Amino acid sequence: MKKHKILMAAIAFAVLAGAWIYGGNYPEQGDQPQAADTAAQTAEQKEVQGNAEFIRVAAMQEGAEQEAPEQEGAVLPAPDETAEPPLAELQSADVDDGSFTVSLTVRCDTILGNMNMLNKEKHELVPSDGVILEATTVTAYEGESVFNVLQRTMKQAKIHMAFRNTPVYNSAYIEAINNLYEFDVGELSGWLYCVNEWYPSYGCSNCQLKPGDAIEWNYTCDLGRDLGQFWVNGWQVDEYE
Amino acid sequence: MNMNKDAFAGFHPVVNMMYFTVVVVFSMFFTHPACLGASLVCAVAYSVYLNGRKAVRFTLVFMLPMLMATAMLNPLFNHEGSTILAYLPDGNPLTLESMLYGVAAATMLVTVISWFSCLNAVMTTDKFVYLFGRIAPALSLMLAMALRFVPRFKVQLKVIADAQKCVGRNASDGNLLQKARHGIRMLSIMVTWALENAIETADSMKSRGYGLPGRTAFSIYRFDKRDRTALAFILACATYVAAGAVTGGLYFRYFPTINGVWGTPYAISIFISHLALGAVPVILNFREDLVWKSIALKA
C-alpha cells in the first residue's frame, strides 16, 4: 500500500515536472546563434569572436555622447565606410561564418524625470545620464534575434538582465535590465526595444536582425508615450486624435 | 521531575496571548537577519521545550528540508540582485541576493510555524474562551472548535478505522475498487459524525445560555504580581523594538544589493531586546526548573 502511494506521487510529480519543462520555460534558442548548422562554426570560434568583437565604439566619440543621443545611428558601420580599420575588419568577418555587426544601446532616460515614483532603494541603479549601455558594436550571427544579441551582450558586459518566456507570443519578455524591473516606475513602466528607431509590435525573439541594425532598449514610464510612441488597440499611430 | 511542565503556560491568559501576538507579528514583519535568527532560535527552543522529542523530530524531518527547499527554489524564480554568481540553464541570472532572500523567507516561514506549534500547546481552549468569550462569544467558540478540529478528527478517524478493520472493511483490504469503497464508507461515517457532533455542541452551548447577557463564566485565572511583571516586561520590550523598527533601527534591504543597519549601538540594543522578548518563556521555564530542583534537593 505504501509503495503504491510513493509510486503514484512520483508519477504525478514526474508528469507535472514534464509539463512544466515542456510548457516553454526553456528557450529554444539560448545564447547560441541560431545558424548552428554552418559547419565552420565551432563553439570555440564563437567564444573567441564574441569577446574580441565586443568593441565599445563609444570610446571613439568621447565627449560627443552627451549632446548627441540621436546621432547614435552614425556610429554604425555603413557598408561603404572602409576608412576606419577596425570596422573594416569586422565587415570582412561577415563573409566567413555568417556573422555581422549591429549596434546596441540601453538607456533609461525617462526615469530621470520620474525619480519620485521609483523605490528609494533603486535610485542608485539609475545613471545620472540615463545611459546603461552606450552605443556598442556587437557581433550577431545569421538568423539571430534582438533577444539573442541583448542576452549575450548583457552577459559579457556583466549587466543584470532578467526575462521570462511567453509561449503565447513565442517570445522572451524582458522583465528587467540592470535590476530596473517592469512596473518599478508606476504601472505603465517597462522595457521597449526599437530597431533603426522603429518599435516593432512583436516580441524581441521574433525580430530577426540584418547587418548594421541599430537596436535600442529604452525604459518607458508611460507605455511608450514618453518615447514618442502611440498605440491604439495594438496599432501604432502618429498621435492621439 | 517538575510538576508544572510549562511555567509560562501557568501565567495569566492575557500574558500568554500578548506574548504570542507580539512575537508572531514581529516574526512576520521583520526581515532583518538578526531578528529572524533570534526569532528562529527562540521559537525552536520553546517548541522543543514544550513538545520534547516530537518537536526535535518535526524540526529535523519537516522544517529543515522545507527551509532548504524554499531557499533553493527562490533563486529559480526570482532573478533580482546585483551580484550575479552564475547563469541558470534557461539563461536568467542566479544572484546572491535572491539566494539570501530565499534563506530569509524560509527562516520566516519555519519560525512562524514553530510559534504556532507553541501557541497550540499553551493557548488551550479554555483560555481562548476566557479571553474572548465575553467580547465575541460566537467567534471565540468557533475559534476554539476550529483549533481542535484537526486533532479531534484524527482521533475519531482512528476509532472509525479500527471499527471497520474488525468487520474486514479496512481501507487496505481487497482490490482497488473495494479499497475505494471502504475508504468512501469511512469518509461518509466521518462526515456524519462531524455534522451530528457540531449540532450537539451547538445545542449544548445554547442550553447553557452561552453568550447571553449577564451570564458569568467560571475561571481559575488570577492576575497577580507575577503576571503584572511579565506583562510589563513583554510590553516594554515590544514597544522598544517597535519604536526601533519605526525609526529605522532595523533597516535592512535585500535588493538590489544587500545593505542594512548592523553594528550601531542603537541597532544592537534593539536586537538584544528582541531576543529578550522571544526568550521570555524559555528563561521562565529554566528558572522554574532550577527552583524546583533546589527545593527537591533540600527536602
For residue B203, the one-letter residue type is D
Cβ-defined contact of A165 to B256 (cutoff 8 Å): no
One-letter-per-residue 3-state SS of B201-270? HHHHHHHCCCCCCCCCCCCCCCCCHHHHHHHHHHHHHHHHHHHHHHCCCCCEECCCCCEECCCCHHHHHH
pTM beyond 0.90, yes or no: no
B255 and A CB contact within 8 Å: yes
A193 Cβ under 8 Å from any chain B Cβ = no
Residue span of the structural domain in which A91 resides: 2-237
Task: Clarify whether residues B237 and B114 are in a common domain.
Answer: yes
Say if residue A28's pLDDT is above 70. Answer: no
For residue A199, count CB atoms less than 10 angstroms from its CB and return exposed for 0-12, middle for 13-18, buried for 19 or more. Answer: middle
State pLDDT tens for residues A69-89: 333 333 434 444 344 444 444
Using CA of residue A8, residue A11, residue A15, residue A17, what is the dihedral sign?
positive
pLDDT by residue, tens only, chain B of 299 residues: 444 578 999 999 999 999 999 999 999 999 999 999 999 999 999 999 998 888 899 889 988 998 899 888 999 999 999 999 999 998 999 999 999 999 999 999 999 999 999 998 898 888 888 888 878 888 888 887 887 788 888 899 999 999 999 988 888 878 888 889 999 999 999 999 999 998 998 899 889 888 788 877 778 899 999 999 999 999 999 999 999 999 999 999 999 999 998 889 999 999 999 999 999 999 999 999 999 999 998 87
Residue B124 DSSP symbol = -
Domain-located, residue B214: no
Which chain A residue has the Cα nearest residue B78? A162
CATH code, A183: 2.170.130.30
Q: What is the pLDDT of residue A39?
A: 40
Question: Is A179 in Cβ contact with B256 (below 8 Å)?
Answer: yes
Among candidates A217, A213, A218, which has minimal Cα distance to A151? A217
How many distinct structural domains can be found in chain A?
1
Stated as kind and residue range, the H or E segment containing A96 is: helix A85-97
Q: How far apart are CA B205 and CA B140, in angstroms?
A: 13
> Under 8 Å CB-to-CB from B256, ≥6 apart: which residues?
A121, A122, A124, A125, A160, A179, B80, B81, B82, B97
Q: Could you tell me the residue range of the domain that residue B194 belongs to? A: 136-207
DSSP B69: H
C-beta of residue B122 within 8 angstroms of C-beta of residue B50: yes
User: Which is it for strands B84-87 and B93-95: parallel, antiparallel or unpaired?
Assistant: antiparallel
The count of structural domains within chain B is 2
Look up residue B68 and give its three cell numbers: 532548504
**Which residue stretches of B30-136 are H helix?**
33-51, 53-58, 64-77, 96-122, 125-132
How many CA atoms lie less than 13 Å away from B153 in the CB half-sphere? Answer: 15
Q: Which amino acid is at A122?
A: K
Average confidence (pLDDT) over A47-52: 42
Cα B53–Cα B59–Cα B62 angle in degrees, nearest 5 = 120
Residue B122 and residue B66 share a domain: yes
The answer to whether residues B28 and B104 belong to one domain is yes
Question: Is residue B1 in a domain?
Answer: no
Q: Which residues of B touch A160 (CB under 8 A)?
A: 79, 81-82, 84, 93, 95, 256
Inter-chain CB proximity A179 and B80 less than 8 Å: yes
Verify whether the Cβ–Cβ distance A160 to B253 is below 8 Å: no
Residue A149: the pLDDT is: 95
Q: Residue A102's closest CA among A227, A200, A202, A217?
A: A217
Chain B residue numbers with beta carbons less than 8 Å from the beta carbon of A179 are 80-82, 255-256
- Residue A138 — φ and ψ, nearest 5°? -130, 160
Average model confidence (pLDDT) for chain A?
75
Cis peptide leading into B256, omega within 30 of 0?
yes
Residue B215 lies in a domain: no
User: By the CB < 8 Å criterion, does B173 face chain A?
Assistant: no
Given a cut of 50, whether residue A174 has pLDDT beyond it is: yes
Q: What share of chain A is helix, strand, coil (3-state, %, to 5)?
A: 35, 25, 40
Is B216 domain-assigned? no
Whether B85 and B42 map to the same domain: the answer is yes
Largest CA distance in chain A: 80
Supply A160's cell numbers.
543584470
**B148, B177, B207: which is the final residue of a domain?**
B207
Q: Residue type for B225, please?
A: K
B227 and B93 in a common domain: yes
> What ipTM goes with this model?
0.71
